[in-house]
Chain A
Amino acid sequence: MYQYDQYDQSMVDARVEEFRDQVKRRLAGQMTEDRFKPLRLMNGLYLQLHAYMLRVAVPYGTLSSRQMRMLGHVARKYDRGYGHFTTRQNLQFNWIKLEDAPDILAELATVEMHAIQTSGNCIRNISSDQFAGAAADEVTDPRPWAELLRQWSTFHPEFTYLPRKFKIAVIAAAEDRAAMRLHDIGIELLKKDGVLGAKIFVGGGMGRTPMISHEIRDFVTADELLSYLEACLRVYNRYGRRDNIYKARIKILLHELGPDEYRRQVEEEFAQVKTLGIDPPVAELERISAFFAPPAFESGLSEDLDRSDPDFAVWLDQNVKPHKQAGYAIVNISLKPVGGIPGDASADQIDVMADLGERYSFDELRVTHAQNIVLPHVRKADLYAVWQALTEAGLAEANLDLISDIIACPGLDYCSLANARSIPLAQKIAERFRDLDRQRDLGELKLKISGCINACGHHHAGHIGILGVDKKGKENYQLSLGGSGAEDVSLAKITGPGFDEDGVVDAIERVTDRFVQVREPGERFLDTYRRVGFETFKEAIYG
């Protein structure tokens, strides 16, 4: 894992003290809320329905056990004993006191963490593949590049006041586990004739105007990647709309200019930018990459697993994924127990995961955009012990990528922007499909719920997506089908009139019942949907 150098640490420490002074002045009445709000947001501090909320950055979703343990400590000492893992691979604390915020940030800084650029019209936390460094299908480890982008984008003087927030994802495998095509910029690292470079996609996003990104360049060599991204951002910063918040994202600029004209302008800018020396020297890239060297894997380990415990066997099949190193596996910890709150973990559970990461996964954990946790490097021989510990902590739900592995935003239970509650609906759906055999029979089925049009719950990318709306003061839920955030990216299509909470659960069951009727062997829900078409399912829903 990357470790701060003196520059990283001094910048974060200085920011904490700056914010401490700003909070002090706010509490002393020397600053109005109007002046203070943009300052607190730059430090990840929102004011939500019930309290201040602090969003802590988890760069590219990677955490050490020490950092994870700190999150548990903050949850216990300053919050109400839990945290919420988000679709941006971050963590949110829901019950923060303003007067405590500087102390929290100071404690986070001791483990190289912060909340900088988790809000505001700047480049947000870089997201990446949660299996980075462990996946068998990756061309290279994307984390050194994500770290390079983190350093480039942090306090970038030109890009601190962009027209709107800006999200970047970087992956290095054919399987897209980071919803890369639904980001403002998506970077797919790949090799061409043995040379490492990247395919660049621009203009994707969810929110009120969902769009799939356009391929803007089929290959830029890695040694010019930063210059190319700088050019992409410069064109956006110059021409992105600042007069209308709803048309300010880069996807709208791409839509209005057209990808060809945007590409032309970027290439023109790139020709100029690459003469400026922005790209790091080879030695700096090597310095960063060295932090992500593979851990000291043992060789000659057994591949054998004792599957005699049936519950363990189910968990193995559902939540454990192949590792590139023989004798190792990737463990997915579901934060979606039936009846639980998607993405929430108690301080005690956070400690358990930190301990397991330290003991069994070379001190590494990952946060996924699906609001789960990953132990990336576990010896197969240790899987049973890990599963037992997870079971004891209520963390062994064997439902990865099944219908109860629901992405849900905090919704109206916590969020001041929401129009409807997301979490109770997720709980009702999970309860309806509680039977794990039935879930596994349905197979991969990604259900995603957003409580408002801002789409933090990624409903546009759900095989089944649900959007909560306010209908004359009542919560109402719009159902959509056919979305995907993976390499087979697509946007879900709205089925028709919305439902109340119970109605939408019934409608989903009609969809899954129809799927069972019409599927062919081996098909996922999404495959069947694409084969038989929208109308078959619409008819099942509305008759």
Chain B
Amino acid sequence: MKLLTGNDLVTGDVTWWTGNGWSRHVEDAADVGDLGEAIAKAEEGARRVNVPYVIDAVATPEGPRPAHIKDRIRALGPTVRPDLTLKPADPDAGSWVI
């Protein structure tokens, strides 16, 4: 599957295209198929996202899992600061990255 991701223009937060908007949580990300570039262009033009790009991901029962470790770290947060990730209460969250 293909996901569209970028950073929020104002906050810099990592965001994921959900099909009708943006979410900070990769679990909400939608498969954009071949439409990623077109959505990216429209959304960037509307200043709802900054520097969007399309990535490969794998569908899993827990939700989409980006294919590359860099995007998995983007999705979670720094593995060395679990308290600053999106799953601060899950001490094992970092294992999802590796």
Contacts and interface: CB of A to CB of B under 8 A. Distances in A.
Contact of A49 (B47, B74, B81): B74
A414 B47 contact: no
Nearest to B86: A50
A99 interface: yes
A512 B79 CA distance: 28
Contacts of B10: 27, 97-99
Interface residues of A, number: 28
Nearest to A45: B12
Interface residues of B, number: 23
A421 interface: yes
Contacts of B12: 47, 50-52, 95-98
Given A29-B47, A341-B80, A424-B79, A49 B13 contact: no
A128 interface: no
A49 B70 contact: yes
Interface string B61-88: 0000001111001100111110010000
B51 interface: yes
Contacts of A27: 9-10, 47
Interface in B20-48: 44, 47
A232 B46 CA distance: 46
A276 B78 CA distance: 52
B13 A51 contact: yes
Contacts of B18: none
Contact of A51 (B7, B73, B79, B80): B7
B45 to A, nearest CB: 9
Contacts of A29: 47
A414 B79 CA distance: 9
Contacts of A47: 7, 12, 50-51
A473 B67 CA distance: 8
A475 interface: yes
B14 A49 contact: yes
Interface in A412-439: 412-414, 416, 418, 421, 423-424, 427
Given A33-B51, A49-B74, A50-B74, A98 B9 contact: yes
A80 interface: yes
Contacts of A96: 12
Contacts of A52: 12
B79 A413 contact: yes
Residue among A80, A96, A99, A413 with max Cβ neighbours from chain B (10 Å):
A413
B60 interface: no
Contacts of A421: 73, 79-80
A473 B57 CA distance: 13
B47 to A, nearest CB: 5
Nearest to A420: B69
A341 B80 CA distance: 8
Interface of A: 26-27, 29, 33, 47, 49-52, 80, 95-99, 341, 412-414, 416, 418, 421, 423-424, 427, 473-475
Q: Lowest 9 A-B CB distances belong to which pairs?
A: A51-B12, A413-B78, A52-B12, A423-B80, A97-B11, A413-B80, A49-B74, A29-B47, A99-B10
25 contacts: A26-B9, A29-B47, A33-B44, A49-B14, A49-B70, A50-B12, A50-B13, A50-B14, A50-B74, A50-B77, A50-B78, A51-B7, A97-B10, A97-B11, A98-B10, A99-B10, A99-B11, A413-B78, A413-B80, A413-B81, A416-B70, A421-B79, A424-B80, A427-B80, A474-B69
